[in-house]
A and B are shown apart, each in its own frame.
Chain A
């Protein structure tokens, strides 16, 4: 047995349908908010963005940066692990032969399309050389065209600092043991 509650037609009482009391109730709410917000900004939730900023969560990663060797060169050896693991295909690396045989391979160009990036951090996990990090806590600045978000190696290195990790980075001289 299904019980049906009839709701058609008589939703309002006579007093309600005169709108008088209900309007006064509504007015009291809006006026209360108006006065509270005018006098104390008590309920105001809007932030005046450039002046006021909401703090980011602690685990927010932010933009990528390319780490540097002691001599300021890029640590990246263009192994393409990040480009391979990237689910958004936003990393483009052009590998080249380095003059220094101890480094051998390095990225001639390393660009990240920040529009495509999903900021998942998999590239950081994949990197064997501690060459890429996502810990700047910044987000991309607005741009007036798409190319502005295509960030080159130089810009990524500007955000980066030196890394002291050994694996995959500096190696001793040939034959020195």
Chain B
């Protein structure tokens, strides 16, 4: 430990700590461009120059470790002059095209200009121009003019992913950061350089021109992409998610995130199941009035559903957008009928590792305690690729959560989750005559999925709680719109068994509801006294007589 003073404040820091980090401890901000705690020290932007007593020249704070008795000044005239000088150099050839720059609003150059510079240009010669709008691959767009030559991106590929992909080319005021010739960015972690870039030189193609960053609202959440459960911020505006950004968590993802994860918000905005849909068995059944929020899109959807249902089934099954009240009544009626005639064992429940721990727990308790279900299956998404850094093969953020929910709700009866392939087998063998499915689809092969869909037509009830449209949703007798991770609070349990909280970002899309609420409403419709949030009742499961209603 070393004791020193920064701007007159006493600081105690571990040996080896640099002055930037030490100053942070006492709330002193030292401006940096090239310094990043996860990267090696370059000390080439010179923005962090500070004055240390008994040292003849200003020293870069990022490169200077703390020492006993050090007296550091970050706000002296010499330091201010140096900072203003560095800013002037950086801005000498900067195009100042903030109006068309995506970084505007979260740009270090903009922020520091307001604090450390705030003067006009003294230059009387033209600016040096470099190529703009270069697609350098990996979903990254490079604008060489805006670059401040901090080399964070270069060091990132050198040190973090381990495959050098970028470098500096040319010299003097012609220097440019770029990729190697004929070698676009590749790998699964290119997006991190966009986060690292302190200015607008590297921007994310997917987010490009979509929204100005100052419009974005932020919600701390967890990435739904894989079982790693990287901590992310859901950045959204007006009911639409625009991007996911990594959130610091040393135990999970440090400050990184994979490109796959960055794209995992898209299903929140697109292809959503917006209304409860009921497939009526009988011909000429009264068509429920469409919801008050009827839109052309939904009308078209219903029309398509009807056409599909007509082609698939010899007897007319009409897909009708209905009220929640109606949808729950139909679902309750179908379930009661199955329980009364065939018992709870004839019902299969597919749990979803895409849903939260709370949602799964609610479904397990409802099914096991009130319907007498014994057959639980693991839903979610099929496994994909994994690697040694962040990505895991299990593309479900909450598999451990599903298992935990099963233990809490049904372990007393010795229940376990079986695979999704078992669902197909059990449906085809006739063991199951009703399905309650959480999630948009089942993690089975396309062939098995098709077999399930055709077999599902013979079931008495297929109740699907899904956030997005899919062939399974189309095959459901009752499709209930559920909320995605961005629209609800809850917990994901990652592969390491860590419970991580999700915070609600956007408002519920369409008429979707969290599964917990759906189950609660369904149970109320069936006349059960069901409170999913109570932990106490989970400890003493009370079994209701099947078919009591």
Contacts and interface: CB of A to CB of B under 8 A. Distances in A.
Interface in B161-175: none
Residue from B104, B127, B133 whose CB has the most chain A CB atoms within 10 Å: B133
Contacts of B130: 174-175
Given A79-B100, A84-B214, A128-B99, A175 B131 contact: yes
A78 B209 contact: yes
B56 interface: no
A73 to B, nearest CB: 14
A174 B210 CA distance: 25
A96 B209 CA distance: 6
Contacts of A145: none
Nearest to A173: B129
B129 A176 contact: yes
Interface residues of B, number: 20
Interface stretch (A54-62, A97-105, A109-117, A147-155): A97-105
Contacts of A97: 208-209
A168 interface: yes
Given A96-B209, A97-B208, A97-B209, A77 B129 contact: no
Nearest to A175: B129
Interface in A151-177: 168, 171-177
A147 B95 CA distance: 40
Interface in B91-137: 95, 97-100, 104, 126-133
The DSSP consensus for interface residues of chain A is: loop
A32 B32 CA distance: 83
A105 B214 CA distance: 18
Contacts of A105: 99-100, 209
Contacts of B99: 77, 79, 81, 105, 128-129, 168
B212 interface: yes
Interface string A103-146: 01100000000000000000000001100000000000000000
A104 B129 contact: no
A84 B212 contact: yes
Contact of A174 (B97, B100, B131, B215): B131
A95 interface: yes
A80 interface: yes
A174 B132 contact: yes
A177 B133 CA distance: 17
B132 A104 contact: yes
Interface string B7-38: 00000000000000000000000000000000
A40 to B, nearest CB: 59
Contact of A80 (B97, B126, B212): B212
A94 to B, nearest CB: 9
Contacts of A176: 129
B128 A177 contact: yes
A128 B98 CA distance: 10
Interface in B192-220: 208-210, 212, 214-215
B100 A77 contact: yes
B133 A101 contact: yes
Interface string B321-342: 0000000000000000000000
A175 B104 CA distance: 23
Nearest to B102: A105
Contacts of B95: 171
A169 to B, nearest CB: 10
A51 B212 CA distance: 47
A173 to B, nearest CB: 8
Contacts of B104: 79
Contacts of A80: 212, 215
B543 to A, nearest CB: 55
A84 B99 CA distance: 12
Interface in A42-80: 77-80
Contacts of B126: 172, 177
Contacts of B129: 172-177
Nearest to A100: B133
B1 to A, nearest CB: 47
A172 B212 CA distance: 26
B289 to A, nearest CB: 25
**Which of B98, B99, B214: most chain A Cβ within 10 A?**
B99
Contacts of B214: 84
A166 B127 CA distance: 15
Contact of A101 (B127, B132, B215): B132
Nearest to B143: A104
Nearest to B99: A79
A72 to B, nearest CB: 20
A101 B142 CA distance: 12
A79 B132 contact: no
A104 B100 contact: yes
A113 B129 CA distance: 39
Nearest to A79: B99
Contacts of A102: 132
A31 B104 CA distance: 71
Contacts of A96: 209
A105 B97 CA distance: 11
A171 B130 CA distance: 12
A163 to B, nearest CB: 15
A78 B127 CA distance: 24
Contacts of A171: 95
A102 B131 CA distance: 10
B86 to A, nearest CB: 23
Interface in B333-370: none
Nearest to A96: B209
A124 B100 CA distance: 17
Contacts of B210: 95
Interface string A3-24: 0000000000000000000000
Interface string B212-250: 101100000000000000000000000000000000000
B212 A104 contact: no
Interchain residue pairs A-B with the least CB separation, the first 3: A79-B99, A105-B100, A95-B209
Interface of A: 77-81, 84, 95-97, 101-102, 104-105, 128-129, 168, 171-177
Given A78-B209, A79-B100, 6 more contacts: A80-B212, A95-B209, A105-B100, A174-B129, A177-B126, A177-B127
14 contacts: A79-B98, A79-B99, A84-B212, A84-B215, A95-B210, A97-B209, A102-B132, A104-B97, A104-B133, A128-B99, A173-B129, A174-B131, A177-B128, A177-B129
Interface of B: 95, 97-100, 104, 126-133, 208-210, 212, 214-215
